[in-house]
Structure 1
Amino acid sequence: MNPFIWGVITGLVLGAAVVTAAARRANSIREERARRAERRAADAERLAELGSLTGGLAHEIKNPLSTVILNAQLVEEAIRDLDASEDQTTPMLRRVDALVREADRLRTILADFLRFAGRFQLDRQPTDLVRVVEDVLDFFHPQADAADVVLRPDLPGHAIEAEVDAAMFKQALLNILINAVHAMEGNPPERPRELLVRIIATDVDVSVHVIDSGPGVPEEMRERIFHPYVSGTQGGSGLGLPTARRIAEEHGGRISLDVLAGRGSDFTISLPRNFRDESTDDRIDGISRSNPSP
């Protein structure tokens, strides 16, 4: 056969193979994106139903709970005004203080639940995520200092813009920071408590890594750590990470966990820089995944 004709035939065959592979990959990506969109819609519907069923009950609980707290504070004032010795009033004040603390804790649990079960209304705007992360770290600094945790930001010296709801993103990042600080509470004295916050961006996505120096998430909890009321830390509400996950997914992104052997955990929020509705957009794109080490 003429070499030229053979070359043309070979080129056509290879070209057809490439086109077929690309079409299969495009179809696979479309199907996966459609499945993710369906899962988000199903989750949103389930949570909306949950919110409607339990939101009223939670609000009904909040009203008498506020009354309990107010009356406990009045009782405390009355005890302090008693003509009695300190030995007599101290045990009573201790009991009232315990009552107020537990009522406040219940009020916090209710607020977290209502926030998690409610419907999110995102206001996506072009936002400099570097500036947002800096604002969150400035706000979180006193809490980190109180826990003897050193914040180590590793942020670009230029703006990284993405279409996000800044307030919601701040809440997600703050929840992850709080979880990381709780995770390091049991560190032995010789092990430093450090929290590295790093931003890595590509043309299509941006990832914010929160890397702690705690013991890491136990293997048996890694599959469930983002489920409601599964808390791997002392004093956690069990809704911080699930709420962060919901916020990331509402933005078309994801949150992931990478356990660093002997060096803690890396919780990563990955978001597309330009949001698109995955149920209607057929363009091919991808989100790069990076697993940096501190």
Structure 2
Amino acid sequence: MEARRSRSAGADKRFAALDLLATLVAVVDDRGHVRYANHALEDAIGLSRRNLADVPLTEWVTQPELLQSALDGARGHEYAVIRYDTHLKRLLREPLPVHLVLASTEWPDHRVVEMLPLEQQTRQEREERLLEQAQANKELIRNLAHEIKNPLGGIRGAAQLLQMELAERDDLVEYTEVIVHEADRLQSLVDRLLAPHRRAPVMADVNIHEVCERVRAIILAEFPRGLSVVRDYDTSIPEFRGDRELLIQAVLNLAHNAAHALKDRIAAGDACITFRTRVQRQVTFGKRRFRLALELHVIDNGPGVPEEIKDRIFYPLVSGRDGGSGLGLTLAQTFVQQHQGLIECDSRPGYTDFKILIPLP
């Protein structure tokens, strides 16, 4: 067995290019035994290619008879390509739904089995929608803000002139003060809408845990009682190029949203926000593939995102709480996208996870 595994491992150089793929790929011989497994398949199953070598691939799918029939048909040249949906078994995890594609290769007596996780396909479609939505939002916000800003300045100026003319009429000056105050409030809102587009990111080496610690200190200063902020860090994550201040603002917006959603639990004394950092390998998002990516999770034990706004939470001016501006998530997504990343949300009652993904060098 060890000799066979050594021979299988020795074939690595021929198939090394398969490690560049984000999909799960195995090269099998005519018996259906694994000759090579790429990195993505290793990660999915939870075993190294050395341990998978010379093992029947049928042992790792939930419908082995279907795969065996497909292999028999391919060996008899009955089919060039075979496709069907099945589940890939994994160590210590639930089976993974995949779309399996079996195809012949240029290598004699070898077949390629490619498995595209169905959840990954769904996720890619969701990411594309998020990116398109963000681009549309950016153009809408920029145009709308400029359209508002010019007449707003005129309204404020006219109100101030009127206020000067009515200096001795206290009952009427009160109305002009309301106009000036509300004009200033709208001006502040417009400035916040335009803020992400007014300057290019200032790139430097960033330690993500310094970012988290800064945000943690701010949140605990604002909510000193009833809220715990838990650290769950992977300290091996390398520094990367980014704008530290923009990332602090992005994470702070997520943490602020979480803290405000936890107001009832803060009152009860059992509110919790968790900052979790991990590295994800061979990840594809934004139609691009990256060897490594940072995962930063901001998790809370609050009531969850309201169902009626789940699909719109990154839209500008959409808020799940009274008094919210609806800009926090929009700006956070913009700041993260300026780092070639994106934010995803998984929410249900008692658990909300906003996950930031950023490529690593």
- TM superposition score category, shorter chain reference: 0.5 to 0.7
The question of 1:63 aligning with 2:153 is answered yes
TM-superposed deviation, 1:242? 1.9
Equivalent residue runs for 1:209-224 within 5 Å = 209-224=297-312
Q: Which runs of 5+ in 1 are unaligned?
A: 1-9, 80-88, 275-294
> Residue deviations 1:201-251, cap 9 Å, x none?
345222222222322112232222222222111211112112222333343
Q: 2:227 aligns with which of 150, 153, 169?
A: 150
Q: Does 1:270 align with 2:357?
A: yes
What corresponds to 1:53 in structure 2? 143
TM-superposition CA deviations, 1:49-80 (whole Å, max 9, x none): 43553343243255357658989999xxx99x
1:114 aligned residue (171, 177, 194): 194
Task: Determine the structure 2 residue equivalent to 1:239.
Answer: 327
* Count of residue pairs the alignment pairs up: 245
Asked whether 1:128 is paired with 2:218, we answer no
1:139 paired residue number: 218
Q: Residue deviations 1:246-278, cap 9 Å, x none?
A: 3333433221222254x242222122213xxxx
Alignment counterpart, residue 340 of structure 2, candidates 244, 252, 260: 252
- Does the CA contact (< 8 Å) of 1:72 and 1:99 recur in 2? no
Separation (CA, whole Å) in 2 of partners of 1:177 and 1:114: 22
Q: Distance in 1 between matches of 2:189 and 2:359?
A: 31
Aligned counterparts of 1:96 and 1:175: Cα–Cα separation in 2: 34
In 2, Cα distance between equivalents of 1:73 and 1:185: 41
CA contact (8 A) 1:47 1:119 kept: no
Q: 1:56–1:201: structure 2 CA closer, same or farther, 3 Å change rule?
A: same
Answer yes or no: is the 8 Å Cα contact 2:272–2:301 preserved in 1.
yes
- Between structure 1 and structure 2, the one with the greater Rg is 2
Correspondence for 2:275 among 197, 201, 207: 197
Contact 1:65 1:107 survives alignment (8 Å): no
Q: Which has the higher relative contact order, 1 or 2, with Cα contacts under 8 A spaced 6 or more apart?
A: 1
1:174 to 226, 234, 252: 252
Paired residue secondary structure (1:243): helix
Give the 3 Å change call, closer, same or farther, for CA 192–168 of structure 1 in structure 2.
same
User: Equivalent residue for 2:29?
Assistant: 11
Unaligned 5+ runs, structure 2: 1-27, 36-103, 282-291
* CA shift digits 1:17-44 (9 cap, x unpaired): 776434x86xxx99x979967974x557
Of Structure 1 and Structure 2, the greater helix share is in 1
8 Å contact from structure 1 (residues 259, 266) kept in 2 = yes
* Structural mapping, 1:76-95, within 5 Å: none
CA distance in 2, matches of 1:260, 1:95: 46
Give the 3-state SS of the residue equivalent to 1:21 in structure 2.
strand
* C-alpha separation in 2, matches of 1:218 and 1:33: 24
Q: Is the 8 A contact 2:272 2:300 kept in 1?
A: yes
Letter in 2 for 1:220: E
1:268–1:120 Cα change, 3 Å: farther
The structure with more strand, counted as a fraction of residues: 2
Tell me the amino acid that sits aligned with residue 126 of structure 1: D
After superposition, residues 21-36 of structure 1 pair within 5 angstroms as: 21-22=113-114
CA gap 1:55/1:109 in 2 versus in 1, 3 angstroms:
closer
